[in-house]
Amino acid sequence: MQYNRISHRRKILIMSGLLTVAFLVLAGRLVYLTVWRADYYAQLADRLHERERSIKAARGKILDRNGTVLADNQTVCTVSVIYNQIEDPERVIEVLSEELGLSEATVRRRVETYSAMERVKSNVDKAIGDRIRAYDLAGVKVDEDYKRFYPYGELASKVLGFTGGDNQGILGLEVVYDEQLQGEPGMILTVTDAAGIEVERLGERRVEPVAGDDLRISLDRNIQAYATQLAYQALQTKEAEDVKILVMNPQNGEIYAMVSVPEFDLNDPFLLPEGTDPNLPEKEKQDILNTIWRNGCINDTYEPGSTFKIVTAAAGLESGVVTPESTFSCPGYIVVDDRKIRCHKTGGHGSEDFVHATMNSCNPVFITVGLRMGVEQYYDYFERFGLKQKTGVDLPGEANTIIHRMEDMGNVELATVSFGQSFQITPIQLITTAASIVNGGRRVTPHLGLETLDSAGNVKETFSYPVTERIVSEETSATMRGMLEMVVSEGGGKNGQVEGYRIGGKTATSQTLPRGNGRYIASFLGFAPAEDPQVIALAIVTNPQGVYYGGQVSAPIIRQLFENILPYLGIMEYNQ
């Protein structure tokens, strides 16, 4: 009996001790929360009664190399409604549907949605936003916002790209440099009571947005505008499918112009072509837009034709299988294995040295050079020149070169590649490789981004790009410059001559697949001055009607371009 009383007392003591410890722990926790963590929980309590409205940051501008603004911002408004604060819903519906041009049903659905805040419409013209604000409707919020604006409409549309409704980059430079351009959004904090109604006496608290950095690019607005004008002129007069023009500094890879017409209006990028069936499925509409937005200079590949003989000539000279004085005989064709491959001059060029074979763009000679090198060595130079890799241009969607695997290349495949057929590259790849051959042998990276600037115009970040030295020797590069100058001065590129200047270049006329379909691609690649290239340009005209030869269709485009931009760039005339 006594043992039971002792046991019962011990249990009571233990329980009392446990309860005391628990009380002390809770009391300690309460003191900790109310004293040491008081500020933290006070902030949480405030947040329960604060409603956040985001403020977009001003997106950084895009400037051309001279500081001309190519992408800017316009002030617009976002109109929203707060269910708990609306006092006269019918009046709100009437005003917003009329001012915003929305159906009554659409506005009613927004107004009657029970949520902390419901957006009715964004990117509203500021004048309309100001009018709505003047009505002073309870529960209606009009916040100023930013919308991307492109002062020159469709100029460089496929290079600059555009932004979406949230001001985030979707295409072109806008998406590549989105992180630098977008800035940091701010917010408006409004204090509300338990019912979600704004407490007027406490007003609003603003956290200001931080504007994005400006981006200065290598594009020159004047060169881009003139190149675009020439491209549209060729598109119309030759009834072509499309025209592409690239202009670049061969010494450092800076792109002065990149044109792929038809272009599109950057301020209305989702506009479908006139006559498009409005009832098309959304996927088909998007496919049409993707085609419109496609930048053919980097996204598309094509058979380069005779402009690629620049690569074969450089590889042949560098490897030693040919010299400028090497002699050949062209009967108008060459037999490779069981295949008879014709020269464009069916009667043949007869006896000629390598310089004149280049001036004549003689297929049998370039096939002979390729065969002398052999598949393995030619393929090595193909890789050495960077043709198996993307150029690394700072634009999205660059396509790869499409070429036979080395193990699948026989003599016939090597022969056709040697004069620019049976494989495909992008225009940016061709001009970059040619630039690297004539600039002394340095493989440059084509690019647009130069630097970012803060709001005061101070440089924040300067971009740098890889350079691969000695893809060919300086001697080979100098020989190539001299040979290509003769192509323009005395050979098939005569229509690329510019009075007072020494121009180097190469023409091309290639067929599109399948062969014999009557569709051609006319192109011309030119550079100036020939002795020390400071600018290189490529014009490609797809499926011109009537005359379709590169020397007659595309060379005059580059001639007109150079006549205007060489003096503009301060490149002096040649003193004979």
Q: What is the pLDDT of residue 39?
A: 65
108 pLDDT tier (thresholds 50, 70, 90):
very high
Mean per-residue pLDDT, 73-83:
89
Percent of the chain surpassing pLDDT 90: 74
Q: What is the pLDDT of residue 576?
A: 52
In order of 9, 54, 422, 537, 567, the CA distances from 571 in angstroms are 107, 51, 38, 15, 6
2 pLDDT tier (thresholds 50, 70, 90):
low
CB-based contacts of 24, cutoff 8 Å, min separation 6: none
Out of 15-19, 57-61, 362-366, 413-417, pick the least confident.
15-19
Q: Any bridge partners for residue 260, and if so which?
A: 244
Q: What is the pLDDT of residue 49?
A: 46
Q: What is the DSSP letter of 85?
A: G
**Contact at 8 Å (CB) between 334 and 367?**
yes
Residue-wise pLDDT tens digits, 467-507: 999 999 999 999 999 999 999 999 999 999 999 999 999 99
Residue-wise pLDDT tens digits, 419-428: 999 999 999 9
302 pLDDT tier (thresholds 50, 70, 90):
very high
Measured distance CA(339)–CA(333) in Å, rounded: 10
Out of 2-6, 99-103, 243-247, 281-285, pick the least confident.
2-6
Structure tokens at 286: 């998007």
**Contact at 8 Å (CB) between 386 and 472?**
no
Mean per-residue pLDDT, 261-279:
93
Res. 387: pLDDT tops 70: yes
Q: What is the pLDDT of residue 451?
A: 98
CB-based contacts of 274, cutoff 8 Å, min separation 6: none
Measured distance CA(397)–CA(402) in Å, rounded: 15
| Closest to 119 measured CA to CA, from 136, 94, 147, 100 | 100
Measured distance CA(16)–CA(31) in Å, rounded: 22
Please provide the DSSP assignment of 362-427 as one string: -HHHHHHHHHHHHHHHHHHHHHHTTTTS----SSTTPPPPB---GGG--HHHHHHHHTT-SSBB-H
What are the backbone dihedrals phi and psi of residue 305, each rounded to the nearest 5 degrees, phi first?
A: 65, -145
Residue-wise pLDDT tens digits, 533-557: 999 999 999 999 999 999 999 999 9
Q: What is the pLDDT of residue 48?
A: 43
Percent of the chain surpassing pLDDT 70: 91
Residue-wise pLDDT tens digits, 432-469: 999 999 999 999 999 999 999 998 899 999 999 999 99
Sheet holding 535-542, edge to edge: 255-261, 242-248, 535-542, 520-528, 504-511
Q: Which of 80, 218, 306, 319 is catalytic?
A: 306
Res. 249: pLDDT tops 70: yes
- DSSP 3-state of 573: coil
Res. 44: pLDDT tops 70: no
Res. 11: pLDDT tops 80: no
Mean per-residue pLDDT, 305-325:
97
CB-based contacts of 425, cutoff 8 Å, min separation 6: 301, 302, 304, 308, 387, 401, 402
19 pLDDT tier (thresholds 50, 70, 90):
confident
Residue 336 CB neighbour total at 10 angstroms: 21
Residue-wise pLDDT tens digits, 501-534: 999 999 999 988 777 678 999 999 999 999 999 9
201 pLDDT tier (thresholds 50, 70, 90):
very low
Measured distance CA(11)–CA(7) in Å, rounded: 6
CB-based contacts of 525, cutoff 8 Å, min separation 6: 307, 310, 430, 431, 434, 505, 506, 508, 536, 537, 538, 558
Q: Which pTM was predicted?
A: 0.86
Measured distance CA(76)–CA(58) in Å, rounded: 11
Structure tokens at 242: 């499309």
Q: What is the pLDDT of residue 41?
A: 53
Structure tokens at 225: 């505008």
Measured distance CA(196)–CA(202) in Å, rounded: 14
Res. 252: pLDDT tops 90: yes
Q: What is the pLDDT of residue 193?
A: 52
Q: What is the pLDDT of residue 355?
A: 97
- pLDDT greater at residue 153 or residue 2: 153
Residue-wise pLDDT tens digits, 202-224: 456 677 888 899 999 999 999 99
Mean per-residue pLDDT, 254-273:
96
| Closest to 326 measured CA to CA, from 305, 306, 356, 346 | 356
Out of 100-114, 210-224, 309-323, 348-362, pick the least confident.
100-114
Q: Specify whether 422 is catalytic.
A: no
Mean per-residue pLDDT, 156-169:
92
Mean per-residue pLDDT, 140-168:
91
Average pLDDT in the chain: 90
What are the backbone dihedrals phi and psi of residue 230, each rounded to the nearest 5 degrees, phi first?
A: -65, -40
